[in-house]
Structure 1
Amino acid sequence: MYEFTAPFQSPSGSPIRELFKYLSEPGMISFAGGYPASDLFDVEGLDAAEARAFQASNQCLQYGPTDGLPELKKELLALMARRGVTCALDQLLVTTGSQQGLDLLLRIMVAPGDVVMTEQPAYPATLQAMKLQQARIVTVPVDENGLDVDALATLLASGTVARPKLIYTVPTFANPTGATLTRERRIALLNLAVKYRFLIVEDDPYGDLRFAGDTVPSILALTNEVEDSRDWVVHFASLSKIVAPGLRVGWTIADAEITRRCVIAKQTVDLCSAPWTQATAAQYLADGALERHLPRITRMYKRKSDALCNSLHEQLGHAIQFHQPEGGMFVWARVEGVDASGLLKRAIANRVIFVPGKAFFADKVDTSELRLSFAAPGVEDIVEGVKRLKRAYDEARAGTVSSVQS
């Protein structure tokens, strides 16, 4: 009856958010959503920051500039400087979460049929946004060290696909794999971008959540080491994972010509991100509260990551393979002898949920893989959740054996 546009004639929603309906079930333990731990929110610090921000109530309650409140942009520039990045005001755009930054970039850069590349497995909302933009998605594999840059170089040199407009990567504690792209691969990726003239879209929401190993500079920070590479990096960041997702504060750093067009695109989307939460975020950052609070988050995430990884080894042994992350929120695993979607059905019956790996693939799906997030549940729930996962796995294996024997 209705004449929907082509991308919305038969759209599919987020496969992760489809699982949220199970969260209300009594006793359910969730390894599914990439939610930060709500009990680690700096409630007192944010309450104080909001009180200070609301002293300028007219600003909080009024429309703001599309590119972001000046006081927040000032604090974000200082934050990025501490991360080794210097940029100009006209290169920075405040967004309503970093996901909006991706949406705006795709709007201004990608026409239907244009080639875009992404690491695989990849964040499902990224794949969803690319599909709705009617882009042609080409995937590049990852391993325990992140994006396989050698495979990318081979693909680009082969000439089998058109020059991509961009490649998307979460190089530090990736969603979903938890992997971190090595410094050497980051430099190699920058050289490829300069050679083939495509944008590197660096999504960096987890970089501050390191609890082991050595810090690796962002791709944007490393542009100082590769001539002419700065113009080919678009960097997304956010306060969602390190402060609170309810603030909906993210930002984009890009060449001024890209940023200017994203600002115009944003004007048609929401006019401006909420000045109230922007002002609160500015006060929070200016007070130094983030630097004081981050160690508490990373200490607890290390405990949770260790609890999950140790429990998986104890309960499932050689039946599960994974690499222990050095930060972030996720463990990416492969289970032996069962389909992860079938395992999920049995897991739900045992009151534990996770995300089957197929949600993170644009093609070449591996049905034995799954993502587990350790951030939100408590340590005791993590241990109990893995026990329930083991029961579900045993049931799935028994069912597989039974069906084979019959």
Structure 2
Amino acid sequence: MTVVGPAAGRAPVPPLAARARSVGGSPVRDILAVTARPEVINFAGGLPAPELFDQEGIAEAFQEVLAHTPAQALQYSTTEGEPTLRAGLAARITGRGLPTAPGDLLVTTGSQQALSLLATVLLEPGDTVLVENPCYLAALQVFGLAGARVVAVPGDADGVDPEALEEAIRRERPKLLYLVPTFQNPTGRTIPAPRRAAIAAVAARRGVWIVEDDPYGELRYDGEHIPWIASLPGAEDRTVLLGSFSKVMAPGLRLGWLRAPAELRRACAVAKQAADLHTPTLNQLAAARYLAVLDTHVERVRTVYGARRDAMLAGLPAALPAGSRWSRPAGGMFLWARLPESYDTLALLPRAVEQNVAYVPGAPFYAGEPDRSTLRLCFVTQTPDEIEEGLRRLARGLSG
């Protein structure tokens, strides 16, 4: 039989790279797609509350930029970032206890890009990365796509255990340690100051990079600011600090930043040139103007989010099965719950969705053996009344 038509004489196209075939999509995004119906009270997202976006203030910043500097705003920019934004960021970081010059910073298209740039310039396939357990899910994706071997370091309610960290570095010889020390995603926990100092000392003694991701640090509802690891003695030359405007201004602007020692920062700038040349100029200039009122906006957001956290904490005892435990974060966006061992939160999720409520099962956040009885709840996107109703639905979903 003679083959005619498009298939005749055609060989298959080459396959995807192994790294693209081996890394799946985000389970959280998959869950959000399933639970996008308006009747679902969604505790699964990590989204800021849209009704709190300062639409007028941000619009005014964009209008001023376009009115006064349109040629600059609509033109290409430097890879490192707009000087006015870097200067404003440097002053903001310095004011929080970490002396920083504009030249210490690289503006990125969200802090997620900063993670990708670091993976590009630091990791070879097969290199080892140490992480918390559980860990921010999108970081696990970045390291997996880079071909890294990800190893979880044991810890407790205060985060990574320094002695376990030292042993893991000795045994695994990693390139870097990735941490979200303040209001961690997914657990909401914060590493106390003495433990941060111990982690910095281990990194200095053993020779390892620390990537300190801080997207939630300004969302504090209780207690005092804890100094960044990057500000501690012994950590200055080996800590990369990442930040973001997504949780305090608007995620749609896609603005983040990276503070790193000079050689590493320059390498990341070269990698960014290859990725996107620069972060959008218009967004950077508008954000630079908006910095003048950002603290006032953040204070308003903190007040609302703190009340929502309290509403969720008040409702959890009646919503979760007897014997459950949960975190009590001093800030951020998330609560982490552990149900009795007999519960599998991934298997229970469809029952919860039937009740028009959603959460994120804890298993995808683990680099090693998962704890299937865990789940993450985001408390910032719903009002206290919606949280109360959502927890009633959750109770039915978990007991049905």
Which interval holds the TM-score relative to the shorter structure? Answer: over 0.9
Shift in Å, 1:269: 0.5
Q: Name the TM-score, length of structure 2 as normaliser.
A: 0.94
The secondary structure found in structure 1 opposite 2:188 is coil
Task: Indicate the percent of aligned positions where both proteins have the same amino acid.
Answer: 42
Q: Aligned residue for 1:332?
A: 336
Q: Aligned residue for 2:105?
A: 92
Contiguous gaps of at least 5 residues in structure 1 = 396-406
Output aligned runs, 1:130-169, within 5 Å: 130-156=143-169, 159-161=170-172, 163-169=173-179
Question: Is 1:211 matched up with 2:221?
Answer: yes
Q: 2:181 aligns with which of 126, 146, 171?
A: 171
Q: 1:352 aligns with which of 325, 339, 357?
A: 357
CA contact (8 A) 2:23 2:144 kept: no
Q: Aligned residue for 1:304?
A: 308
Q: Aligned residue for 2:261?
A: 255
CA contact (8 A) 1:312 1:320 kept: no
User: For 2:56 and 2:207, how far apart are their aligned partners in 1?
Assistant: 46
Q: Aligned residue for 2:86?
A: 73
Q: Name the TM-score, length of structure 1 as normaliser.
A: 0.93
Q: Aligned residue for 1:274?
A: 280
User: For 1:142 and 1:131, how far apart are their aligned partners in 2?
Assistant: 22
CA contact (8 A) 2:321 2:398 kept: no
CA contact (8 A) 2:39 2:356 kept: yes
State the AA in 2 paired with 1:380: D
Output aligned runs, 1:58-69, within 5 Å: 58-69=71-82
Question: Is 1:108 matched up with 2:121?
Answer: yes
Shift in Å, 1:5: 1.0
Which aligned segments of 4 or more residues in structure 1 are displaced greater than 6 angstroms? none
Q: 1:33 aligns with which of 45, 57, 62?
A: 45
Q: 1:10 and 1:135, CA in 2 relative to 1: closer, same or farther beyond 3 A?
A: closer
The secondary structure found in structure 2 opposite 1:84 is coil
Q: Aligned residue for 2:210?
A: 200
Q: 1:102 and 1:57, CA in 2 relative to 1: closer, same or farther beyond 3 A?
A: same
User: For 1:242 and 1:142, how far apart are their aligned partners in 2?
Assistant: 29
CA contact (8 A) 2:93 2:99 kept: yes
CA contact (8 A) 1:172 1:181 kept: yes
CA contact (8 A) 2:321 2:339 kept: no
Shift in Å, 1:60: 1.3
State the AA in 1 paired with 2:45: G
The secondary structure found in structure 2 opposite 1:94 is strand
Deviations 1:353-396 (A, max 9, x none): 1100011011111000010000111211111111011001111x
Shift in Å, 1:268: 0.8
User: For 2:318 and 2:354, how far apart are their aligned partners in 1?
Assistant: 22
CA contact (8 A) 2:318 2:395 kept: no
Deviations 1:314-333 (A, max 9, x none): 33363421121100000000
Q: 1:20 aligns with which of 13, 18, 32?
A: 32
How many pairs are equivalent? Answer: 386
Q: 1:75 and 1:362, CA in 2 relative to 1: closer, same or farther beyond 3 A?
A: same
Deviations 1:276-330 (A, max 9, x none): 1101100001x2x111111111111111111111101133363421121100000
CA contact (8 A) 2:176 2:210 kept: yes
User: For 2:33 and 2:151, how far apart are their aligned partners in 1?
Assistant: 32
CA contact (8 A) 2:23 2:141 kept: no
User: For 1:43 and 1:35, how far apart are their aligned partners in 2?
Assistant: 16
Aligned-pair Cα RMSD in Å: 1.2
CA contact (8 A) 2:107 2:279 kept: yes
Q: 2:201 aligns with which of 191, 194, 205?
A: 191
Question: Is 1:384 matched up with 2:389?
Answer: yes
The secondary structure found in structure 2 opposite 1:269 is helix
User: For 2:78 and 2:161, how far apart are their aligned partners in 1?
Assistant: 40
Q: 2:247 aligns with which of 238, 241, 246?
A: 241
